[in-house]
Amino acid sequence: MTAESCDTTRTSLYPLRFEPIYQYRLWGGRRLADLLAAPLPGDGPIGEAWVLSDRADHASRVADGPLEGRTLGELLELYPEQMLGRLAGRYPRFPLLLKFLDVHELLSLQVHPADDRKDLLPAGETGKTEAWVVLEAGAKSRIYAGLKPGTTIDDLRRAVASGVVADNVASFVPKQGDGVLVPAGTVHSLGDVVVFEIQENSDVTFRLDDWGHVDPKTGRHRELQVDQALSAIDVSQGAVAPVAPVVEETTPVERERLFECDYFRLWRLRGHSPFAVGAAGTPRVLVCIEGTGRLEHGGETYAVGKGDVLLLPATVGACIFRPSGAVTLLEAALPQ
């Protein structure tokens, strides 16, 4: 169905569920099968499920309803005001990329450039500030984020040459429920965890070190981008620790604000009685990370299970969520 054949005056937007886009990663595992309903492909390591992506190379498609098969980008083009409300026209594409990650082995020590580093960004790309919510932490779990005090770029360059760059990066043992904000320019890695990730809609990564990993598909080490990584690093970014959640509401649902930055806001909602989600005039994204329930909108109900991600277009506004027992949701908002 082409854009021309879609009657945009008659189609009513509704809570939109998208199909996950699974990504092979040599450091991945198979734990996302316990989180998402869509079966994992093959039997190899799946490191990422892109669950809301407005990118030409990996475009999220609506999973059900009258708009089934439509990409997120097509919907933004067809219904800019209905999708984004007062934010329409501000973004050339949906500004967030949402993922689940199963990091079985340590991913590379890496850095993402900031928005103002145009010299390091391909045309059309933004910088990449990101944040994680830890869903599972294994026996060997570790998060590296930020530099140890006094570390300089020269220190890092020498450490890369000696294969000991991780000695200069702060780290901690994460636990389930931790929220970790990683500003662009921060050296980071993580391992033996399953996390939800919210980030700027960017796919620019520079590897500083890859722990000696060999890609079984190629039999080779992956390429490093040491010079670009060193240039992108914010040396003022010290050790990163889990955030302290801010409780904004306790009844009928416990609402904690985990992150509030220039690029996104994210809350965690825990409850077992009906509660409101969404907001008038602006889009919201719901991510169910525990339990099940039903979302009510326009006289219709939409089943929501663990791992489901629903985009609430601005025209949908506030809805009621009715849990089937205890439930935990994440709710994401764009900056105003």
pLDDT in tens, the chain (336 residues): 333 334 444 568 999 999 999 999 999 999 999 999 999 999 999 999 999 999 999 999 999 999 999 999 999 999 999 999 999 989 889 999 999 999 999 999 999 999 999 999 999 899 999 999 999 999 999 999 999 999 999 999 999 999 999 999 999 999 999 999 999 999 999 999 999 999 999 999 999 999 999 998 899 999 999 999 999 999 999 999 999 999 999 999 999 999 999 999 999 999 999 999 999 999 999 999 999 999 999 999 999 999 999 999 999 999 999 999 999 999 999 987
First-to-final CA distance of the chain: 33
E strand or H helix at 47, and its extent? Answer: strand 46-52
Predicted local distance difference test score (pLDDT) of residue 336: 76
Task: Determine the length of the chain.
Answer: 336
Predicted local distance difference test score (pLDDT) of residue 139: 97
Q: What number of CA atoms fall less than 13 Å from residue 158's CA on the CB side?
A: 7
Predicted local distance difference test score (pLDDT) of residue 5: 39
Domain ranges of the chain: 3-232, 246-333
As a whole number of angstroms, the distance between CA 112 and CA 232 comes to 7
- CATH topology match: 3-232 vs 246-333: yes
Predicted local distance difference test score (pLDDT) of residue 210: 95
As a whole number of angstroms, the distance between CA 106 and CA 255 comes to 32
CATH superfamily of the domain spanning 246-333: Jelly Rolls (2.60.120.10)
As a whole number of angstroms, the distance between CA 261 and CA 332 comes to 12
Q: What is the CATH number of domain 3-232?
A: 2.60.120.10
Q: In the chain, count H helices and then E strands.
A: 4, 22
Kind of pairing, strands 130-147 and 169-172?
A: antiparallel
**CA-to-CA dists, residue 187 to 5, 153, 211, 213, 238, angstroms:** 47, 12, 14, 18, 10
